[in-house]
Amino acid sequence: MINYGLITINTMFLSLVGMLVGFLLGITINTKLNIWFYLIVGVFIAYMLGSLPYYNFPMSYSFILSLVGLLFGNIINKVFKK
Amino acid sequence: MILYYDINYDIILILYPIIEIAIILLILVMNMDLQLASFITAGILAIVGLYGVFFVDNVLKKIIALSALGNGVNLTLIAIGYKAGGIVPIKMPSMEFTMFATKAVYPLPQALVLTNIVIEASMLAIMLALSIVFYKKYKTLKASIILKED
Amino acid sequence: MSYINREIAVSLSFMFFGAAILYSVYNINVVEGVNAIYTHSYIIPNFVTAVLFDWRGFDTLGECLILINSVLVTGMVFGRGLFNSEFLKEVYGNQKKLNIDEIEGFTPIIKVLAIPMSIILMILGVYVILGGHITPGGGFQGGSLIAASYILAIVSFGIRNCPINFNHKFLETLESFGALIFLILGLTGIAVSGYYLLNIHSLFGMNVFPSPTGLENAGIIPYLNTAVGLKVLAGLSTITTLLSSERVIVKNISD
């Protein structure tokens, strides 16, 4: 069983702020991004970075969630600004 | 007729690395004090920057020299916060606080340097913009021609 | 000649000033003690950020306003403002017209690599902004990283068909939004305690910034970090756009 760490509002709030900032940046990117490529590379980089101190996660969740926010913003941009 | 535009004064900029290598040798061989060595390096950087601002006849080189002067000031500030055997001022979860408080390096000069770097960057942007306009208007970057000093 | 007198004066003042710098730097005496107050009270793990946003938050506000000022001045020189277009006509008027179709940018190798690298760099910038109160980093460093990713895209694709589309309105909104968040968070300090930019740890029995144990005193510092990061990213990107938009100026003049 993989240990995902303790997930509560106290530990995930920082990552959610990151998701918001990533979404802000993502709606400005015009090209089509290959989502699976970026997710795999992002998980690898997050695993190499490690989590922030005081947050006992196996990998950096704020990095992954910022990437998810950016990709989501890119999809929104593609759908609505056609 | 003008003295300082005829001679190639850029040679003093070549002298700077030689002095720097001499200081590194002093630290390694003679066990010189690290703080004193940083102060002397900062002084030499500031003097080289001042020299470039005064005597070098090119606007871009003047801008580079001005950033060297700023770096000298930054290095002075950093060296003030030096502490022999100190640690980075970031408390990790495993550290005990009293041990950390006695061993940590002083954080105030580093914050001041961060302020200074941002101000230098904004100054650099303004100077580069003005130098672009100078070049478009006069087709040269020589200060002696821009100021119409023959 | 009158220049010789001036030259001698400059040389003498350079000599004296340089000697004074070397003398004072050699004899400098560092007194320990005043700084001890900064290391003996624990606010957040990164003590440099604590000095920047808690002890000297007002100082940081002034520093941000300097960045805004520099963006304003650069825009005044050759921005959309163009308040003195006579001057710009005189400067830019007599050059040959650029043929835009001939400029195609770099080779496909750089174009393929530039987008993934700039996106990863962007996310790394967000990560550095968010970890500002725990690890080395913060708003200024992270904002510079995001601006660097934008510069990478501009250099490899050209400003015309750049995939990262930071247009003027977006950057303007982001910059004013960041400054506004900073000022309003300072006002909440006045509302609660009477001091501007005071670090409020908890409001109505709740943490202002929900964090795990050991970081309860973070308060408004992560919000301030994010605001400063957005503002620095917008400012540096605006300066880059202005410095690289010669074609826009030429087009504006010809109208």
CB pairs under 8 A between A and C: 87
In the structure encoding, which two tokens stand for residue B16, read together? 């700077």
A71 contact residues in C (CB cutoff 8 A): none
Count of domains for chain C: 2
ipTM above 0.95, yes or no: no
**Chain B residues with CB inside 8 Å of C60's CB?**
115
DSSP C78-119: HSS--TTHHHHHHHHTTSPPP-GGG---S-HHHHHHHHHHHH
- Note whether residue C103 is domain-resident: yes
Strands C202-203 and C206-207: antiparallel
With CB atoms and an 8 Å threshold, state whether A52 touches C209: no
pLDDT at C97 over 70: no
Q: Which of A55, A28, B80, B41 is nearest to C163 (CA)?
A: A28
Say if C38 falls within a structural domain: no
Residue A54 contacts B where some CB pair is shorter than 8 Å: yes
Does the residue C90 lie in any domain?
yes
- Quickly state the pLDDT bin for B3 (edges 50, 70, 90): very low
Domain presence at residue C169: yes
* Mean pLDDT computed over B9-35: 75
Residue of C92 and A73 predicted with greater confidence: A73
- Count Cβ–Cβ pairs < 8 Å, chain A vs chain B: 3
- HSE (CB half, 13 Å, CA atoms) of C169? 1
* Interface list for chain C against chain A, based on CB atoms closer than 8 Å: 45, 115-116, 119-120, 122-124, 126-127, 129-131, 134-135, 146, 163-167, 170, 174, 207, 209-215, 222, 226, 229-230
Contacts of A53 in chain B (CB under 8 A): 92-93
**Percent of chain B residues topping a pLDDT of 90:** 9
- Extract long-range pairs of C116-121: CB within 8 Å, 24+ residues apart: C116/A37, C116/A38, C116/A41, C117/C149, C117/C152, C118/C149, C118/C150, C118/C152, C118/C153, C118/C164, C119/A29, C119/A33, C119/A38, C119/A70, C119/C149, C120/A41, C120/A42, C120/A45, C121/C145, C121/C146, C121/C148, C121/C149, C121/C152
In terms of Cβ atoms closer than 10 Å to its own Cβ (0-12, 13-18, 19+), residue A4 is: exposed
- Cβ of A70 under 8 Å from any chain C Cβ? yes
Chain C residues with CB under 8 Å of B100 CB are 39
Q: Domain span at residue C218? A: 43-254
As a three-state string, the secondary structure of B73-127 is HHHHHHHHCCCCCCECCECCCCCCHHHHHHHECCCHHHHHHHHHHHHHHHHHHHH
Query: Looking at beta carbons, which residues of chain C come within 8 Å of B128?
Result: 243
DSSP A29: B
Across chain B, mean pLDDT equals: 82
- Give the nearest chain A residue to C147 (CA atoms): A25
Residue B47 confidence (pLDDT): 87
User: Chain B partners of A54 at a C-beta cutoff of 8 Å?
Assistant: 93
Q: For residue C15, is pLDDT > 60?
A: yes
Give the residue carrying structure tokens 């290095």: B75
Domain layout of chain A by residue ranges = 14-80
- Dihedral sign for Cα C238, C244, C247, C252, please: positive
Residue C227 near residue C181, CB atoms below 8 Å: yes
Token pair recorded at residue B96:
């005990």
Quickly count: other Cβ atoms within 10 Å of residue C128's Cβ.
23
In this structure, the answer to whether residues C13 and C134 fall within a common structural domain is no
Interface contact C47-B104, CB threshold 8 A: yes
- Which chain C residues touch A61 with a CB distance below 8 Å? none
User: Confidence band (pLDDT; 50, 70, 90) for B6?
Assistant: very low
C35 within a domain of the structure (yes/no): no
Residues of chain C above pLDDT 90, percent: 19
* Residue B58 scores a pLDDT above 60: yes
- C23/C117 same-domain check: no
Give the closest of B39, B111, B149 to C56, CB-based: B111
Interface test with B, best of C26, C48, C71, C253 (most B CBs within 10 A): C48
Higher pLDDT among residues C202 and C233, named by residue:
C233
Mean pLDDT value of segment B9-30: 74
Instruction: Examine the domain organization and report whether C152 and C207 are in the same domain.
Output: yes
C112: Cβ–Cβ under 8 A, 6 or more apart, which residues?
Answer: none
Kindly tell me if the per-residue pLDDT of C105 is higher than 50: yes
- Residue C236 is assigned to a structural domain of this protein: yes
Rounded percentage of chain C residues whose pLDDT exceeds 70: 84
In this structure, the answer to whether residues C14 and C123 fall within a common structural domain is no
Contact residues for A11 (Cβ-Cβ < 8 A; gap 6+)? A5, A55, A57, C212
In the predicted structure, residue C80 carries a pLDDT above the cut 90: no
Asked if pLDDT for residue C100 goes beyond 80, the answer is no
Most confidently predicted of A11-25, C206-220, C236-250: A11-25
Residues C18 and C110 in one domain: no
C136 lies in a domain?
yes
Domains of chain B in sequence order: 8-85+96-146 (1.10.287.3510)
Mean pLDDT value across residues C213-232: 88
How confident is the prediction for chain C on average, in pLDDT?
83
* A41 lies within 8 A of chain C by CB: yes
- Chain C CB within 8 Å of residue A11 CB: yes
pLDDT at C96: 60
Q: Compute the distance between CA of residue B45 and CA of residue B64 in angstroms, rounded to an integer.
A: 12
Q: Which of B15-29, B66-80, C215-229 has the lowest mean pLDDT?
A: B15-29
The whole-angstrom separation of Cα B123 and Cα B116 is 10
Higher pLDDT among residues B142 and C93, named by residue: B142
Classify residue C31 as left (phi > 0), alpha (psi -120 to 50) or beta. Answer: beta
Question: In Å, how far is A38's CA from the nearest CA of chain B?
Answer: 31
Q: Are residues C9 and C84 in the same domain?
A: no
- Cα→Cα distances C125→A14, B97, C227, Å: 14, 30, 14
Contacting chains of A (3 CB pairs or more, <8 Å) are: B, C
Residues of chain A with pLDDT under 70: 1, 82
Q: Are residues C141 and C52 part of one domain?
A: yes
Q: How would residue C1 be classed by pLDDT, with cut points 50, 70 and 90?
A: low
* Chain B interface test: which of C10, C24, C51 (most B C-beta within 10 Å): C51
Q: Average the pLDDT over C173-188 and give the result.
A: 89
Quick one: residue C137, left, alpha or beta (phi over 0 = left, psi -120 to 50 = alpha)?
A: left
Of the candidates B2, B40, B118, the beta carbon closest to that of C25 is on: B40
Provide the pLDDT for residue A66: 93
Q: Is the pLDDT of residue B1 over 50?
A: no
Average pLDDT over residues C101-120: 80
